[in-house]
Structure 1
Amino acid sequence: MPETTDPTFYRSPAAAIAAPPERLAYVAAFDPGGEQHDAIAVLDCDPGSPTYGEVVGWAELPTAGNELHHFGWNACSSALCHDGHDGALERRYLIVPGLRSSRTHVLDTGPDPRQPAVVRVIEAEELAEKAGYSRPHTVHCGPGGIFMSNLGAAEGGGGPGGVALIDHDSFEVTGAWETDRGDQYFGYDVWWHLKADVAVTSEWATPSMIEDGLNPEDLLGKRFGHHINFWRLSDGRLVQRVDLGDEHQMALELRPAHDPRKTWGFVGVVISVEDLSASVWLWHRDGDRWAAKKAISIPAEPAARDQLPPALQPFGAVPPLVTDIDLSVDDRWLYVSCWGTGELKQYDVSDPHNPREAGSVRLGGIVRRTAHPAAPELRLGGAPQMIEVSRDGRRVYATNSLYASWDEIFYPDGVGAWMACVDADTGSGGMSIDPRFFPHGDDFRGLRVHQTRLHAGDASSDSYCFAD
């Protein structure tokens, strides 16, 4: 346990929900052309502020071409129940990987949260030499170090992908986390059931399969990842693999229950090659084994051929393309982004085995191009993609870019850059778009935007040690 306790380390989900609301959001911004320097944009999330919904800070990185994607905090609430720290620890540093460059920047938000500063760069060579990986993707603070998942091996754009450990204090790569990976090969997300000594990983693809765009032969040939992998968290040994079926391609975002007594969670699957539907699966214990079941299925929407990009014209439909999901801190509401159709869905998962759709909003979309209420004249490119839920569950932030080389396939006329905030009813369900929050276009200085992290924590970056 750290020597001093950061007030944003919450003992339980209930404590996180009761804490003061977020005032700032950090957003990854990148130039898909690799010419402008990538950056972290800082957004004002205080509805009482005169600059609400505006970019109020900008941290430019020293390099371009990183393709900032997912990122995370150096420390969070899980620090209250694990060792491995040399002295004081606080939620202060953003660990920001570059998915294309394999370079990771460490930014200090401490002196001025609106102006983070780069204090260390983990070069691709250090990651390759010490952990044997490349193309870092997801960051979570955890026991024994900061966990950083990776899509590829050190050389050649192939696999296996896996998890590297980064020292909490020095930010040096200390090695690979896995000690026995069995048949696991593809990497993507990593999360855990901390108290149960269980880690979970999901699967996308190797770098060579994705970096130049989506190869239809890989999709129709069912070559993308379709397993959930269960590990012993304490020693990095693979325990079990659950196959979702090879028709279910790309098992991506993992959202375990926040209550440390629960051992279930959800994973989003991008597409079914059988009917273009998307799905969300529930993993859970079944005796002494792990099992998974399809909990939500979202069908494709019919569309005229001339409304579709070339890649979809042969199918005559828009796939939902579930590219992110997020679970509220109270484990009641699951949010599902359909980046193809432009829909953000809300499900009541009080009974995780039987989700009930409770709300929906639309922005963008391949065919609809639904406008934001703040700018009804704009036909939006992209759609809700990465989503982040506030700790109290009342706000859902969405950004619109998926991955540069894939953006052009589904939105060949461009996605632009925009971010939205959706107000969520946490009583009976339902959502509405906040008309005051719509940074877009030149607000992001010509860069695209991807993941959001909220100052003091959010729904997808914390695991908790106590139930109440």
Structure 2
Amino acid sequence: MISTMGDAQGKAKGSFITFDSVTFEHTGPWTRMDSEFGYDYWYQPARDVLISSEWGCPTAYFKGFNPKDVESGKYGTHLNVYSWSDQRLLQRIDLGIEGIMPLEIRFLHNPLATQGFVGCALYANVFRFYQKDDGSYAAEKVISIPPKKVEGWTLSEMPGVMTDILISLDDRFLYFSNWAHGDVRQYDISDPEHPKMVGQIFLGGSIVKGGPVKVIHDTELTEQPDPVYVKGKMLEGSPQMIQLSLDGKRLYVTDSLFSPWDKQFYPMVAKNGSVMLQIDVNTETGGLTLNHNFLVDFGKEPDGPALAHEIRYPGGDCSSDIWLPVGYTECHHNNQAKNEVTPPAKI
């Protein structure tokens, strides 16, 4: 199943198309109830739910980022809650102005979990979504990255622009990247309602010393971060997509978001190609350290320079694996799945 963001004319359309996993033959839409916008999704079969997020209208983001497109409603603010068995849209949760561009959405990996997190790009906020006693879902903001007042940038205030989040397989840590500010953060989510930051590292970004942007007010930093070099190469972009090793000890980072936006905000990445980096993770108390011996330079690809984006492990990873509990059975009748769950012996 693949989520959609637009139709053939470039108009926004949040839907899902399905393919045979062996022959790749197109098998039709997953649902007949489309949402206004589309992007990412996660599903919990044992809870009979799929929740999708919203980026925006292709005719807007293909041109690069324009604040006027936000004002005119061309970017989404909703989470869309579907019945997994009935493929039916049940609920739309409006995250409001603070939830513009909800991108990566992650349930906790525990297959019986009824909560998770979504990163909202523009204003760099993380919302926790959760199931209420009546069976419906709600969302609350639990992390907010303050903007920085700047000179020499597109706007007078620079938001974080949170572009990727993920949760470790043991559901202990949440990680995300701020593509404008240039940092990756690690949060302890043992208490999901009150995440606690335990690690942070800057890897380029738009506020590095010596760049065109001057920070004139910052509620978090006392000075702008230094440029970062790996194997003699200065990082010209900013951390964007991330992927965590299964043991939680290695966090991999790439720095290309979307080529029109790369050209707008990090033109040297678009020109010279992107990189992949490795961050060593402290899984005991928290902490992030750059591995200076690891660098994949996609500018040197034979058909490059190339722009690297998603990172995936062939055998499954922290942002694509969805687990079933022990004792879970799924029975189909008239093409409708009915789920029965017994508590897992282990996950």
State the partner residue of 2:3: 149
Deviations 1:268-292 (A, max 9, x none): 00123xxxxx100000012122110
Conserved? CA contact 2:275–2:308, under 8 Å: yes
State the partner residue of 2:263: 408
State the partner residue of 1:357: 197
Once the two structures are TM-superposed, the CA of residue 458 in structure 1 deviates from its matched residue by 1.0
Q: Tell me, yes or no, if structure 1 residue 264 matches structure 2 residue 115.
A: yes
State the partner residue of 2:17: 164
Once the two structures are TM-superposed, the CA of residue 246 in structure 1 deviates from its matched residue by 3.3
Q: Tell me, yes or no, if structure 1 residue 284 matches structure 2 residue 130.
A: yes
Q: Where in structure 2 are there 5+ consecutive unaligned residues?
A: 210-225, 326-343
State the partner residue of 1:77: none
Q: Secondary structure at the match of 1:450?
A: coil
Q: Secondary structure at the match of 2:59?
A: helix
Conserved? CA contact 1:204–1:225, under 8 Å: yes
Deviations 1:174-199 (A, max 9, x none): 01111334xx2101011111211100
State the partner residue of 1:25: none
What letter corresponds to residue 391 of structure 1 in structure 2?
L
Instruction: Give me the whole-angstrom Cα distance separating, in 2, the residues matched to 1:429 and 1:439.
Output: 25
Instruction: Give me the whole-angstrom Cα distance separating, in 2, the residues matched to 1:387 and 1:259.
Output: 21
Instruction: Give me the whole-angstrom Cα distance separating, in 1, the residues matched to 2:73 and 2:282.
Output: 39
Conserved? CA contact 1:161–1:206, under 8 Å: no
What letter corresponds to residue 55 of structure 2 in structure 1?
W
Deviations 1:386-416 (A, max 9, x none): 0011111111110000100011222244453
Instruction: Give me the whole-angstrom Cα distance separating, in 2, the residues matched to 1:247 and 1:284.
Output: 18
State the partner residue of 1:449: 308
Aligned residues: 306
Deviations 1:214-233 (A, max 9, x none): 22211233431000011001
Conserved? CA contact 1:325–1:337, under 8 Å: yes
What letter corresponds to residue 250 of structure 2 in structure 1?
R
Deviations 1:340-394 (A, max 9, x none): 011000000011110000001110101217544533x544222110001111111
Residues 217-226 or 157-166, more deviating: 217-226
Once the two structures are TM-superposed, the CA of residue 428 in structure 1 deviates from its matched residue by 1.0
Q: Secondary structure at the match of 1:384?
A: coil
Give 2:317's match in structure 1, choosing from 430, 437, 458.
458
Q: Tell me, yes or no, if structure 1 residue 334 matches structure 2 residue 174.
A: yes
State the partner residue of 1:396: 251
Q: Tell me, yes or no, if structure 1 residue 383 matches structure 2 residue 234.
A: no
Is the alpha carbon distance of 1:239 and 1:175 closer, same or farther for their aligned partners in structure 2, counting shifts above 3 Å?
Answer: same
Instruction: Give me the whole-angstrom Cα distance separating, in 2, the residues matched to 1:459 and 1:344.
Output: 17
Q: Tell me, yes or no, if structure 1 residue 418 matches structure 2 residue 275.
A: yes
Is the alpha carbon distance of 1:449 and 1:424 closer, same or farther for their aligned partners in structure 2, counting shifts above 3 Å?
Answer: same
TM-score, structure 2 normalization:
0.84
Is the alpha carbon distance of 1:420 and 1:414 closer, same or farther for their aligned partners in structure 2, counting shifts above 3 Å?
Answer: closer
Conserved? CA contact 2:172–2:189, under 8 Å: yes
What letter corresponds to residue 329 of structure 1 in structure 2?
L
Deviations 1:66-105 (A, max 9, x none): xxxxxxxxxxxxxxxxxxxxxxxxxxxxxxxxxxxxxxxx
State the partner residue of 1:296: 143
The percent of aligned pairs where both chains have the same amino acid is 38
Is the alpha carbon distance of 1:195 and 1:323 closer, same or farther for their aligned partners in structure 2, counting shifts above 3 Å?
Answer: same
State the partner residue of 2:218: none
Once the two structures are TM-superposed, the CA of residue 208 in structure 1 deviates from its matched residue by 1.1
Q: Secondary structure at the match of 1:271?
A: coil
Is the alpha carbon distance of 1:367 and 1:418 closer, same or farther for their aligned partners in structure 2, counting shifts above 3 Å?
Answer: same
Conserved? CA contact 1:366–1:381, under 8 Å: no
Instruction: Give me the whole-angstrom Cα distance separating, in 1, the residues matched to 2:73 and 2:322.
Output: 33
Conserved? CA contact 1:179–1:235, under 8 Å: no
Conserved? CA contact 1:151–1:160, under 8 Å: yes
Give the number of the structure with larger relative contact order, counting CA–CA contacts within 8 Å between residues 6 or more apart. Answer: 1
Give 2:188's match in structure 1, choosing from 348, 367, 378.
348
Is the alpha carbon distance of 1:247 and 1:359 closer, same or farther for their aligned partners in structure 2, counting shifts above 3 Å?
Answer: closer
Deviations 1:301-358 (A, max 9, x none): 233x23x3xx23xx1x332110000110111100010010110000000111100000
Q: Where in structure 1 are there 5+ consecutive unaligned residues?
A: 1-146, 273-277
Instruction: Give me the whole-angstrom Cα distance separating, in 1, the residues matched to 2:86 and 2:298.
Output: 46
Q: Secondary structure at the match of 2:140?
A: strand
State the partner residue of 1:374: 230
Q: Secondary structure at the match of 2:39?
A: coil
Residues 434-443 or 156-165, more deviating: 434-443
Is the alpha carbon distance of 1:371 and 1:172 closer, same or farther for their aligned partners in structure 2, counting shifts above 3 Å?
Answer: farther
